[in-house]
Amino acid sequence: MSTEIVAPAPEARAMDLLRFATAGSVDDGKSTLIGRLLYDTKSLFTDQLAAVEAVSAARGDEYTNLALLTDGLRAEREQGITIDVAYRYFATPRRKFIIADTPGHIQYTRNMVTGASTADLALILVDARKGLVEQSRRHAFLCSLLRVPHLVLCVNKMDLVDWSQEVYERIADEFTAFAAKLDVPDLTVVPVSALRGDNIVTRSDNMPWYEGPSLLHHLERVHIASDRNLVDVRFPVQYVIRPQSTTVTDYRGYAGQVASGVLKPGDEVMVLPSGFTSRIAAVETADGPVPEAFPPMSVTVRLADEIDISRGDLICRPNNAPAVAQDIEAMVCWMDETAPLRVGARYAIKHTTRSARAIVRGLHYRLDINSLHRDESADELRLNEIGRVRLRTTVPLLADEYRRNRTTGGFVIIDEATNRTVGAAMIVEAN
Amino acid sequence: MTTPAAYQVSHLDALEAESIFVMREVVAEMERPVMLFSGGKDSIVMLRLAQKAFAPANVPFPVMHVDTGHNFPEVLEYRDQRVAELGLQLVVASVPEALASGMVRESGDGMRNRIQTPVLLDAVEKHRFDALFGGARRDEEKARAKERVFSFRDEFGQWDPKNQRPELWSLYNGRHHPGESIRVFPLSNWTELDVWHYIARERIPLPSIYYAHEREVIERDGMFYAVNEFFRPRAGEERFKAQVRYRTVGDASCTAAVRSDADTVEKVIEEVAATRITERGATRGDDRVSEAAMEDRKREGYF
Ligand SMILES: Nc1nc2c(ncn2[C@@H]2O[C@H](COP(=O)(O)OP(=O)(O)OP(=O)(O)O)[C@@H](O)[C@H]2O)c(=O)[nH]1
Ligand SMILES: [Mg+2]
């Protein structure tokens, strides 16, 4: 399903960046697959490999356990599982990749959510012997909730099912049927053996019936440029730059990272929540003014008029603005093991560059991940549970639907007593 | 009409934008940030990003050097020059002073890696810093590969790798109670090669020891250590002259050089792109103590 694009020679253009995350149930082979990808693209250093070989040999493994390349914590190596996200980096002549290898164990779902939240693409692994299990569905659901734009289902451990096309197709069909109930814009399916390297970097001879590309081939070419929102101008003000200096006087610039849209000098803009309008006088970086700014650029915007703007405000266009809303409907993934989300409870929230407090006004339903059934009798969300929540905030949020904007549509919920991040929220509706 | 393809930034620009975003978040939300500045290449790049993040205003926080007393003179000189140029306030957390006052004791092997942690934590407490920028990168080491951009530390400066805060999107949670702090890693997603490409692109001057030069060294465990006042050859270790450069700059008693002819930034980039050994693997005696040496030090509050 990937769109073939004819890329110019690598040296002719700046390399772009693909961030991807692994997902899937415990032991389905996520870390092994990442290890294999690094190994087969020759992205490993000899000392890293030697260290992993030595640990494997000392433990009596029959083969070098490539999962040890990402399972770097003492506890992970002792237990043979991934606990927290490992970030790894590699590049081919076509692209630079940032990998987030996430844990499959249900207890560490929040770490998977951390890794997937910034991903352009998620690899969902399934053990061919076991097929889809609850955790595969949970992760697929979370990827769709987080709106990871591209999914790749890797049916792994094909070596253990005799490279069976039938097994592969059964799992691919089952997953495709499940994904149809979710919001999955782009799905690709690849049969692989992470352990042996089949269809990871090169096409496998063991599965001649598979006619698609190898996983790396897909990762190098999947078209991500159109995933960005270049339409809705959203510029959350992060920091006001006002030099206290004798050489630079009367300078006032609004620093931030463009969340979406394109900003140009001369553009009519509106500042929220005040609603004042002005014109962009200049878009600047430390290297000088730029003709336009778009995601993910960090710039400083200067306006033609003196208006009162501070951190947490947002610059948009007068005819295309987010909601200025205190009543927020959101899908919430709860991430705290010590206390559930309860109706009536108060929390701190962080949304773009804006902090507020919020009270939980209602819980519409809790989702059953397997059946996607909505349990409307639920009165709390426990660790790893997902539900639709209504919140009232102390100050208005400048909010879009998450499906339209991953930056202005998402926020985190923080426990004011422990300061821990306890929930991830994706806005469905803001009034 | 501009085509969407025109709205692309290079991966280096994307990394720069992310680092600048992180720094602005810290300055906007934290009370007393400080940037660790050793005169090493990563901290030099980090400082350049800080200049860019707040221009045309000055860098709005002090810098701190945890001085083990085992310095390369070229690096100290660079540090002082940079600090003067940018008009920064420099805080020195001094291991020799801490040794003299009895706060810490020299460890058996003479390495000051572990004992610099209490000195760092003491300075943090004294100055009530609540956010500490470090130049560590996730590609450096397997424990670092696991760390958040905003990494919470308890009142003992400890990192708990099994209990890190979730970190979603670019929403960084810097909230903490008095005495606790946040370590912030703006270069988390940079690789060694990215750093060098950036140094080349921005024409950032570096201490001369990062480029090939001739030096008197000895070979130990396959690494080349410079003979100097902090590093004495053992019996049987032969001194010889070699063309070397440093890939990392740490404590002069445990940082080794690599053989190299790369005397320009372009040649270094070529060398780094082709190398088959990680920078810490090639140059750091301190990481060789055990499989989990870095994780253990980080748990205690090391950067
Ligand atoms: N035969 C076979 N074994 C595999 C394959 N991929 C992974 N394994 C094995 O499956 C086990 C689990 O692999 P990991 O890579 O640690 O699994 P994971 O998905 O990262 O697990 P968590 O991160 O803990 O969720 C290891 O023993 C691997 O060697 C495969 O393609 N074929
Ligand atoms: Mg794993």
Report the 3 state secondary structure along B46-105.
HHHHHHHHHCCCCCCCCEEEEECCCCCHHHHHHHHHHHHHHCCCEEEEEHHHHHHCCCCC
Give dist(CA B43, CA A6) in Å, integer: 39
Which residue in A155, A245, A171 sits closest to A207, CA to CA?
A155
Q: Residue A256 and residue A251: Cα distance in Å, rounded?
A: 16
Give all strands of the β-sheet with B131-133 in edge-to-edge order: B90-94, B63-67, B33-36, B131-133, B181-184, B150-153
Residue that is written with structure tokens 């005799």 in the block: A162
Tokens in use for A164? Answer: 């069976």
> What total number of domains does chain A contain?
3
Query: Quick count: other Cβ atoms within 10 Å of Cβ A250?
Result: 7
pTM of the model: 0.94
Distances (CA, A) of A300 to A208, A290, A365, B51, B58: 54, 10, 42, 13, 15
What pLDDT, in 10s, does the model give residues A73-114?
A: 999 998 999 999 999 999 999 999 999 999 999 999 999 999
- Cβ-nearest to A424 among B18, B168, B282: B168
In chain B, whose CA is at the least distance from the CA of A227?
Answer: B4
Q: Tell if the CB–CB gap between A87 and B8 is shorter than 8 Å.
A: no
- DSSP class of residue B45? H
Touching check for A348 and chain B: CB below 8 Å? yes
Measure A412 CA to ligand 1 centroid, in angstroms.
32
Give the integer Cα–Cα distance in Å for A28 and A138.
Answer: 14
**DSSP letter string, A141-179:** HHHHHTT-SEEEEEEE-GGGGTT-HHHHHHHHHHHHHHH
Residue A143 and residue A261 share a domain: no
Strand ranges inside A59-215, DSSP E: 86-91, 95-101, 121-127, 150-156, 187-191
Residue B287 confidence (pLDDT): 64
> Which among B133, B168, B161, B131 has a CA at the least distance from the CA of B145?
B161
Q: For residue A382, what are the contacts with CB-CB under 8 A and spacing of at least 6?
A: A334, A340
Torsion of CA B186, B188, B193, B194, to 10 degrees: -40
Q: What number does the ligand 1 atom closest to the CA of A28 have? A: 19
C-beta of A77 in contact with ligand 1 (< 6 A):
no
A7 part of a folded domain: no
Do residues A182 and A90 both lie within one domain?
yes
Q: Could you tell me the domains of chain B?
A: 4-193+292-299 (3.40.50.620), 207-288 (no CATH)
- What CATH number does the domain containing A77 carry? 3.40.50.300
- One domain for residues A278 and A168: no
Last residue of a domain, one of A180, A203, A226: A226
Q: Does residue A3 lie in a domain region?
A: no
Q: Check A239 against B27: CB less than 8 A apart.
A: yes
- Between the CA of residue A324 and those of A317, A423, B96, B244, what are the distances in Å? 14, 22, 56, 60
Bridge pairing between strands B181-184 and B131-133: parallel
The atom of ligand 1 lying closest to the CA of A76 is: 24
Distance from first CA to last CA of chain B, Å, rounded? 48
Q: Tokens 């032969």 label which residue?
A: B238
The kind and range of the H/E element at A357 are strand A354-367
- Same domain? For A303 and A270 the reply is yes
Asked whether residue A82 falls in the same domain as residue A164, the answer is yes
What ipTM does this complex have?
0.94
A248 is in an annotated binding site: no
Joined together, the tokens standing for residue B303 give: 């950067």
For residue A56, report the distance from its CA to the centre of ligand 2, in Å: 15
pLDDT digits (tens, 9 = 90+) for A127-176: 999 999 999 999 999 999 999 999 999 999 999 999 999 999 999 999 99
Cα B258–Cα B261–Cα B265 angle in degrees, nearest 5: 95
Q: Taking Cα atoms as reference points, which of B232, B177, B226, B184 lies closest to residue B53?
A: B184
CB contact at 8 A, A424 and A410: yes
**Could you tell me the two tokens for A315?**
């610059």
What's the distance, CA A112 to chain centroid? 9
Which residues of B fall within a CB distance of 8 Å from A98? 189
Cβ A22 under 6 angstroms from ligand 1: no
Q: What is the pLDDT of residue B288?
A: 61
Specify whether A69 is located in the same domain as A167.
Answer: yes
Measured distance CA(B76)–CA(B74) in Å, rounded:
6
Surface-to-core class of residue A326, CB atoms within 10 Å of its CB (0-12 exposed, 13-18 middle, 19+ buried):
middle
Distance (Å, whole) CA B120 – CA B136: 16
- Supply the range of the domain harboring residue A274: 235-316
What pLDDT is attached to residue B183? 97
Report the sign of the C-alpha dihedral through residues A144, A222, A20, A155, in that order. positive
Phi, psi dihedral angles at A85 (to 5 degrees) = -60, 135
Task: Indicate if A374 and A302 belong to the same structural domain.
Answer: no
Where does a domain end: A207, A226, A245?
A226
Q: Is the CB of A110 under 6 A from ligand 1?
A: no
Q: Are residues A148 and A102 in the same domain?
A: yes
For atom 24 of ligand 1, which residue has the closest CA?
A: A81
A54 and A118 fall within a common domain: yes
- Give contacts of A55 with chain B, Cβ < 8 Å: 291
A166 in the same domain as A30: yes
Cβ of A387 less than 6 Å from ligand 1? no
> Which chain A residues touch B9 with a CB distance below 8 Å?
14, 296-297
Query: How far is residue A36's CA from residue A27's CA, in Å, rounded to a whole number?
Result: 15
- CATH of residue A360's domain is 2.40.30.10
Nearest partner of A390 among A330, A322, A326, judged by Cα: A330
**DSSP helix/strand/coil, B122:** helix
Residue A8 lies in a domain: no
Q: How far is CA A425 from CA A102, A182, A309, A358, B168, in A?
A: 20, 17, 26, 12, 10
E strand or H helix at B266: helix B265-274
Write the CB contacts of B256 (distance below 8 Å, at least 6 apart in sequence): B220, B223, B224, B225, B282, B283, B284, B285
Instruction: Compute the distance between CA of residue A307 and CA of residue A317 in angstroms, rounded to an integer.
Output: 16
Choose one of A316, A350, A382: the last residue of a domain: A316
Q: How far apart are CA A61 and CA A59, in angstroms?
A: 6
Residue A385 domain-assigned (yes or no): yes
pLDDT in tens, chain B (303 residues): 344 457 889 999 999 999 999 999 999 999 999 999 999 999 999 999 999 999 999 999 999 999 999 889 999 999 999 999 999 999 999 999 999 998 888 887 777 878 889 999 999 999 999 999 999 999 999 999 999 999 999 999 999 999 999 999 999 999 999 999 999 999 999 999 999 999 999 999 999 999 999 999 999 887 888 888 778 788 888 999 999 999 988 887 878 899 999 999 999 999 999 888 888 887 776 666 677 788 888 888 888
Q: Is residue A10 part of a domain?
A: no
Tell me if A86 and B142 make a contact (CB, 8 A cut-off): yes
Query: Which stretches of chain A drop beneath a pLDDT of 50?
Result: 1-13
Burial B68-94 (b: 16+ CB within 10 A, else e): bbbbbebbeebbeebbeeeebeebebb
Residue B174 contacts residue B131 (beta carbons within 8 Å): yes
Residue A35, domain member (yes or no): yes
pLDDT at B286: 66
Cα A225 to chain centroid distance, Å, stands at 16
Cross-chain residue pair B55–A286, CB shorter than 8 Å: yes
Interchain pair A118, B51: CB under 8 A: no
Indicate whether A1 belongs to any domain: no
Tell me the CA distances in angstroms from A121 to A22, A98, A116, A144, B241, one per residue in order: 9, 11, 8, 11, 50
Residue A211 in any domain: the answer is: yes
Query: What pLDDT score does A399 carry?
Result: 98
| Contact indicator for A317, A233 with CB cutoff of 8 Å | yes
- Are residues B189 and A17 in contact, defined by beta-carbon separation less than 8 angstroms? no
Same domain assignment for residues A27 and A82:
yes
Same domain, A67 and A129: yes
